[in-house]
Structure 1
Amino acid sequence: MKAFVPTATPGDTVRLTEVAEPVQQPDQALIKVEAYSVNRGETFLLERPPVGWRPGKDVAGLVVQAAPDGSGPAVGHRVVAHPPALGWAEYVAVPTSSLTPIPEQLSAVQAAALPLAGLTALRLLRTAARHTGHLAGQRILLTGASGGVGHYVTELAAAAGAQLTAVSASAERGERLRELGATAVVDEVAAAQGPFDLVLESTGGANLPLAIARLAPRGLLLWFGQASREPVTLDFFALLNGPVSATIRQFSYADVDGPDGPDLATLVQLTAAGRLHPEIGTVRDWTRTGEVLEDLRERRVRGNAVLTVN
C-alpha cells in the first residue's frame, strides 16, 4: 500500500512510497482511510522524526476488517479514529477503543477534523471546569484562537455559558469566532481587558507572561502549546505585582485515564446535532500533503487542514 513516510529533509519532510500493509492486533480494526487531518504540531515533529515513526493521528474511513477479538464496529461501518501514528496511508490498523462510528450526515472530511483538535478543546474545558466547579459565567482568555483547537474551544465554552475573549490577528477569523460565541475578539494579548478567571494559552514566548498578568486572584492558566516556538521567561518579582496566587499548569490532551473512543463519540454527537462545527481551512488531495505541511508551517491555513485519499 502507499503511505507517507518522513524524510528528515528540510523543506521536503515527507514522501509517498510503498510500505507493508498493517498487521492487525486482536483489538484493532483495519480502516480504509478516506480522509485525514494534518496538525501543525506534526510539522514540528517531522523536523526530527523518531526512527521508524510515520505520521498520522486523525483519520476517518471505512472498516474493511473487524477486530479479531470481536470488539468495535463490523465491516462496512464508517468511523473516525485517533491512532497513535501511521494514519497518512491507504490503510491503518486502529485499536477499537480509539475510534467511534460516524453517522451518514457527517462527511469523512468533517470527521477527520475532529480528533486531535476536538479532544484537546473538550479536555481543556473539562480541566478548567474541575478547577472552577463550572464554566457558566467564567471569564476566559484564549490565545492562538485562529486554529482548529481555538474554534472548538470557543464554541464549546460559549455553549457552556462562559464569557470568552479570543485572541486572533486575523479580522476574518475574528468575525467567525464571534459567530461561534466569543464575547470579544482582540488582535493581541496586550489588548485583552481582564481580569480573567481562566487563561488557555497556546503560543508561549512573550504572550504567556502577558496572559498571566491578566488573571484574576487565584486564577488558572492552562498552558497547552508553544506555537510561537519562542521560549518563555517568567519574572517572579513581576508576578508579585500581578494576580494573587495564580496557578500555572501545563496541559496535555493525552493526560486521560481512559481511551479516546468515548470522547470521540461526544464530538461526533455534537457535530451531528449541529452544536459543533469543524472549521475546515483547506481540503486537498493527499498527494499534496507536502504542500499543506508547508502552508501550516507558514501559518497560511486557518482552521483544520484535511487531505482526502482516493
Structure 2
Amino acid sequence: MQRLIPTGEAARPVAFAEFPQPVPEPGEALVKVEAFAPNRGETFLLERPQPELLPGKDIAGLVVQAAADGSGPGIGTRVVGHPAQGGWAEYAAVPTHSLAVLPDSIDSARAAALPLAGITALRLLRTAGSLAGRRVLLTGASGGVGHYVTELAVGAGAELTAVTATPVRGERLARLGATLVHEVAAARGPFDIVLESTGGPDLPLALSKMRPGGTLVWFGQASRTPVTLDFFHLLGGPEHATIHHFHYAGAPYAPDLAALVRLVEQGRLHPEIGRTADWAHTADTLVDLRERRIRGKAVLLIGGAR
C-alpha cells in the first residue's frame, strides 16, 4: 500500500512510499482510509521528523477488518477515527476506543475534519466551565479549533470575542456570532474566560484583560514564541487569576468523536474546510497550512472519496 512519509524538506515535507498493509492489534480495527485532515501542529513535527514518525491523526473511512477482541464497529461500517499516528495512508490500524460510527448523512471529508480540532474544542470548553452569559476571549481563532470553539461557545450562550490576523480569516466567525478583533490589544474586556493559543506577548496581554478571579486556559503556542509573565504588571491587571495549562490528549476518544458526529448530524456544528484536494497534493497543502494560507481545516481525499 502507499503511505506518506516525512522527507525533512521544508518545501516538500512528505513523499509517497510503499509499505506493507498494517496488521491490527487485537483491540484495533483496520480502516480503509478515504479522507484525512492534517493539523498545523503536525507540520511543525515534519520540520525535524523523528525516524519513527508516521504522520496522520485525523481520518475517515471504512472498516475492512474488525477488531479481533470483538470491540468496536464491524466490517463495512463507515467510521471517523483518531489514531496515534499513521493515518496518511491507504490503510490504518486504529484502536476501537478511538473510532466512532458515521451516518450516511456525513461525508468522509467533513468527518475527517472533526477529530483533533473537535475533541480539543469539546475538552477545552469543559475545562473552561459554564459559558452561558460569560464573556470569553479566544486568541488564534481562525484555525480548525477556533471555528469549533466559536460555534460551540456561542451556541452555549457565551459572549465571545475572537482574535484573528485579518478580517478575511474571521468572516465566518463573525457570522457565527463572535465579535471580531485583529489583535489582543483591541479586545474590550474585562473577560471572565480567556482561551489562549498563540503564546508570546499575547498571553500576558490577554491575561491583563481578565476580570479579577477570571480563568485563562492556555492550550497552544502557535506563534512559536515563549511566554514571559511579569508578575508586577500582572498585579496591576486582574489582581488574581487562575491559569490552566490544557492539553487535549487522553483516550478514549470514541465518546467525544460520537458527540461531534451527533452535533454535525443535528446541524449544530459545521466543519470549516478551507481546502479539499486529492492526497497527491498533500505536500503543497502542508506548506500552505504551515504558512497560514488555509482558513479552517484542509482535507485530503484518497481514491476519489467525497
TM range (shorter): over 0.9
Amino acid at match of 1:250: H
The CA deviation at 1:297 is: 1.4
Aligned residue in 1 for 2:47: 47
Aligned residue in 2 for 1:176: 172
Choose 44-53 or 135-144, whichever is displaced more. Answer: 44-53
The CA deviation at 1:148 is: 0.8
Identify which of 293, 302, 305 aligns with 1:309: 302
Aligned residue in 1 for 2:161: 165
Query: 1:140 aligned to 2:133?
Result: no
Alignment partners' CA distance in 2, 1:64 and 1:173? 39
Identify which of 188, 194, 205 aligns with 1:193: 188
Aligned residue in 2 for 1:69: 69
Task: Quote the RMSD (CA, aligned, Å).
Answer: 0.9
The CA deviation at 1:49 is: 1.7
Aligned residue in 2 for 1:34: 34
Structure 1 residue ranges without an equivalent (≥5) = none
Per-residue CA deviation, residues 224-256 of structure 1 (Å, 9 max, x unaligned), is 1111111211111111111121112211001x4
Alignment partners' CA distance in 2, 1:244 and 1:263? 36
Alignment partners' CA distance in 1, 2:168 and 2:290? 20
Amino acid at match of 1:128: A
Alignment partners' CA distance in 2, 1:206 and 1:89? 38
The CA deviation at 1:12 is: 2.2
Aligned residue in 2 for 1:216: 211
Aligned residue in 1 for 2:263: 270
Query: 1:225 aligned to 2:252?
Result: no
Q: Is the 8 A contact 1:146 1:170 kept in 2?
A: no
Alignment partners' CA distance in 2, 1:11 and 1:205? 26
- Residues 226-305 of structure 1: pairs in structure 2 closer than 5 A: 226-254=221-249, 256=250, 258-305=251-298
Amino acid at match of 2:26: P
**Aligned sequence identity (%):** 64
Q: Secondary structure at the match of 1:60?
A: strand
Amino acid at match of 2:79: V
The CA deviation at 1:11 is: 2.3
Aligned residue in 1 for 2:146: 150
Aligned residue in 2 for 1:3: 3
Alignment partners' CA distance in 1, 2:58 and 2:80? 8
Per-residue CA deviation, residues 41-94 of structure 1 (Å, 9 max, x unaligned), is 000011122221200000000001111111111111100000000000000000
Alignment partners' CA distance in 1, 2:220 and 2:66? 36
Structure 2 residue ranges without an equivalent (≥5) = none
